Amino acid sequence: MMDAQAVTLRGRLAAEALMIDMCRVERSIGEVTDPVTGVVTDGWETVYEGACKVQGRTAQATVPEAGGHAFTVEQLMIHLPVSAQSRLDDRVTIQSAAMDPDLVGAMFRLTELARGTYRTADRWNVELVTG
């Protein structure tokens, strides 16, 4: 009989086999100043680069209105290996997407992690970053 840890580790391998997209996860390091131009920008460091999966949470996007403008809100998730050690507010950029080339270049902010002892992947709710 297998113990729960062994089954979870096998589940992680299976979950990672489905992660056929490639992404970069970056973490904010605060503002940085270019020493030549003096321009101040947000600084980011790469904390993970590798396999991921973009997953829809719901079948339909919502279109709320505010100030006379309609916004489309997509309910999406990013699945990352548990070993990615991602955190709330990290930024994920999709670098390649084997089954959906429209995802390439999309940037998301990690907003909520489904936690648990026997997780087979980090399943993050995300917000699409635009502008």
**Tens digit of each residue's pLDDT (9 = 90 or more) over 51-94:** 999 998 765 555 566 667 666 667 799 999 999 999 999 999 99
pLDDT value at position 66?
64
pTM, whole model, 2 decimals? 0.83
pLDDT value at position 81?
97
Give percent of the chain with pLDDT exceeding 90: 76
Q: 78 lies in which domain range?
A: 4-128
Q: Provide the mean pLDDT of the chain.
A: 89
pLDDT value at position 72?
64
pLDDT value at position 65?
65
Instruction: Please tell me the total count of domains within the chain.
Output: 1
CATH of the domain at 70: 2.40.10.270
Give percent of the chain with pLDDT exceeding 70: 86
Question: Where does the pLDDT of residue 29 fall: very low under 50, low under 70, confident under 90, or very high at 90 and above?
Answer: very high
**Tally of CA atoms within 13 A in the half-sphere of 87 that contains its CB:** 6
Over the Cα atoms of the chain, what is R_g? 17
- Separation CA 25–CA 51 (nearest Å): 11
HEC per residue, 63-102 = CCEECCEECCECCEEEEECHHHCCCCCCEEEEEECCCCHH
Where is pLDDT greater, at 74 or 124? 124
